[in-house]
A and B are shown apart, each in its own frame.
Chain A
Amino acid sequence: GQQVMQIPQYQHVQEGEDFTTYCNSSTTLSNIQWYKQRPGGHPVFLIQLVKSGEVKKQKRLTFQFGEAKKNSSLHITATQTTDVGTYFCAGLSSGTYKYIFGTGTRLKVLA
């Protein structure tokens, strides 16, 4: 079946360092979404990318969707302690209403 993998699984950074997480799908996706889950909380929608090669920015966060629509990345510039949490990508399986979530990257930021 369709799989979405994320790397790395864990990342510890010093406050102020950059952070990147990568998302790879075994099949082409209609779109890719990114969610953030704070410790003990629930996933919260960050952004959606639809077009091949699309790049979107939200303040210190930069999101990219690959040309083949099978991979994506999230880059955080100059991390802050408020960035702590697990970041998930999710792809909408083509022709269905099913979302396939990646395994997530847990980010810890050391002050």
Chain B
Amino acid sequence: NAGVTQTPKFQVLKTGQSMTLQCAQDMNHNSMYWYRQDPGMGLRLIYYSASEGTTDKGEVPNGYNVSRLNKREFSLRLESAAPSQTSVYFCASTELAKNIQYFGAGTRLSVL
């Protein structure tokens, strides 16, 4: 099993450009999450999807949109990137019965 796979691993954008971060899990988990990690800030929840067909805002949703395409895939879209969105983005999925979060390797995004 690959676990949680994120693409791309690295990305550089210019201000105003758009892009979609992809996340897929092969563990048949119901819940999926998007976090951003900034130095000294820990992990902050952007959006989550408790189950297929549902999405909810986290702590810092402004400037982002998400799509739960199916049970496996949960994508994060930046419509008009800003320098403040420079960060490391992690996707995670959870097996509800155990509440354990499994993280992908992350996407390192720079917005110039």
Q: List 15 A-B contacts (CB under 8 A).
A: A9-B40, A31-B99, A33-B100, A42-B105, A42-B106, A45-B101, A88-B42, A97-B31, A97-B48, A97-B96, A98-B48, A99-B33, A103-B40, A103-B41, A104-B42
Alpha-carbon separation in the docked complex, A105 to B94 (Å): 23
> What mask results when residues 87 to 103 of chain A are scored 1 for a CB within 8 Å of chain B, else 0?
01010100001111111
Q: Is the CB of A99 within 8 A of B45?
A: yes
Q: Is A43 an interface residue (CB 8 A)?
A: yes
| A residues in contact with B101, CB < 8 Å | 33, 35, 43, 45, 90, 99
B contact residues around A33 at 8 Å (CB): 99-101
Q: Which residue of B lies closest to A93 (CB)?
A: B45
A39 CB within 8 Å of chain B: no
Q: Mark B74-112 against chain A: 1 for CB-CB distance below 8 A, else 0.
A: 000000000000000010101010111111111000000
A80 within 8 A of B: no
Main secondary structure of the interface of A (DSSP, over half): strand
Docked CA distance A99–B57 (Å):
12
Q: Does B50 contact A (CB under 8 A)?
A: yes
Contacts of A102 in B (CB 8 A): 42
From 34 to 57 in chain A, residues with beta carbon under 8 angstroms from any chain B beta carbon are 35, 41-45, 48
Checking A42, A97, A100, A104 against B103 with a beta-carbon cut-off of 8 angstroms, the contacting residue is A42
- Judged by a CB distance under 8 angstroms, whether B8 is at the interface is no
Which residues of A have CB within 8 Å of B90? Answer: 42-43
Closest A residue, CB atoms, query B41: A103
